[in-house]
């Protein structure tokens, strides 16, 4: 198994199964500005670093093992400081008279020790699941290898939070600071423990509703289900329906079966998980224009799409019907 080098993906893959749209990644560079984090190729910005790492990729393609080229550094002209204070702080512009402020003592409340989440080893883990602890990146293989006293059960991670300040990057639990984002991701963990693949899962799963819409062409019906912070998306197609199952961050889940107005080609139908929605393309088995997405007893008549040239259903000289249109079934 090889590991993809695309940012936002970095999954292990089999070269023989590396097909188009197998990799969902970010083609741009990370952007950190005024506390917000995101990617230059995406509009989405978040404040939490874990949410930044979970931003779904905006580009689809094949997995790659090529090293990612680092952006060219541009030289900036440095303005000379007008003077330096006794504390070593550079001051630009007019020198102001020092202001003496009496120190105010603040009462520090003792902080309660944080309890780290631990894996419930009675819960099953899908093969290939990545450890959730920051800076680890361990991949689950099986219980004998990745849990208990297995050879790959040790987790080396960062218990602290990421810090980005004036161009430097590091962790609150470590003294080391770097400038390059790729070097920041390579900073080794400072604490040893057990992997966190699934957590304790004490929270009950919350079923939520997601907004959706649809439109059609002559050959397809496109359904858009709007959902963010997706962790896993599954869509199964049948001849007269399709099932969608979206697992989202925060233990939320959208699960629904859509019965369809008429039959579809389940083998030719497909779906794509994007950053803000899931796009589902249903392949029609005939040229009938759908009057609704789901079966509707109030629909009594329907027609077919027009054709190019002198014929068609609207404004044409000749009328065309689909072979399974009710007008042909006499």
Rounded CA separation 19/256 (Å): 28
Task: Measure Cα distances from 137 to 92, 143, 286 in Å.
Answer: 44, 17, 48
Q: Is the pLDDT of residue 122 over 80?
A: no
Backbone φ and ψ of 326, nearest 5°:
-55, -25
**What is the total residue count of the chain?**
330
* Whole-prediction pTM: 0.40
Q: Name residues whose C-beta falls within 8 Å of residue 54's C-beta, 6 or more positions apart in sequence.
A: 229, 231, 249
37 CB neighbour count, 10 Å cutoff: 20
Q: Which pLDDT belongs to residue 314?
A: 47
Q: Is the pLDDT of residue 14 over 70?
A: yes
Average pLDDT, the chain: 79
Q: Which pLDDT belongs to residue 310?
A: 43
Rounded CA separation 104/77 (Å): 39
């Amino acid at each position: 198994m090889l590991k993809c080098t695309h940012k936002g993906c970095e999954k292990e893959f089999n070269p023989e199964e590396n097909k188009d749209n197998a990799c969902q990644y970010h083609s741009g560079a990370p952007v950190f500005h005024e506390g917000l984090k995101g990617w230059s190729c995406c509009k989405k910005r978040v404040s939490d670093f874990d949410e930044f790492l979970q931003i779904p990729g905006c580009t689809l393609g094949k997995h790659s093992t090529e090293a990612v080229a680092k952006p060219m550094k541009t030289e900036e002209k440095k303005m000379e400081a007008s003077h330096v204070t006794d504390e070593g702080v550079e001051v630009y512009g007019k020198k102001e008279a020092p202001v003496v402020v009496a120190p105010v003592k603040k009462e520090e409340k003792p902080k309660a020790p944080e309890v780290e989440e631990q894996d419930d080893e009675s819960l099953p883990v899908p093969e290939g699941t990545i450890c959730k602890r920051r800076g680890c990146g361990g991949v689950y293989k099986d219980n004998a290898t990745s849990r208990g006293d297995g050879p790959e059960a040790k987790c080396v991670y960062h218990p602290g939070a990421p810090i980005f300040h004036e161009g430097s990057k590091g962790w609150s639990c470590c003294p080391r600071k770097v400038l390059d984002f790729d070097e920041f991701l390579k900073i080794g963990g400072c604490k040893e423990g057990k992997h966190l693949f699934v957590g304790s899962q004490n929270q009950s799963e919350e079923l939520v509703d997601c907004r959706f819409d649809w439109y059609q062409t002559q050959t397809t019906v496109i359904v858009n289900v709007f959902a963010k912070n997706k962790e896993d998306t599954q869509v199964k197609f049948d001849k007269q329906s399709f099932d969608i199952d979206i697992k989202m961050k925060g233990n939320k889940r959208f699960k629904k079966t859509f019965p369809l107005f008429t039959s579809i080609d389940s083998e030719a139908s497909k779906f794509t998980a994007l950053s803000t929605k899931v796009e589902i393309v249903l392949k029609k088995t005939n040229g009938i224009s759908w009057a609704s997405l789901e079966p509707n007893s109030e629909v009594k008549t329907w027609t077919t799409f027009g054709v190019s040239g002198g014929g068609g259903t609207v404004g044409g000289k000749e009328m065309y019907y689909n072979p399974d249109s009710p007008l042909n079934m006499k």
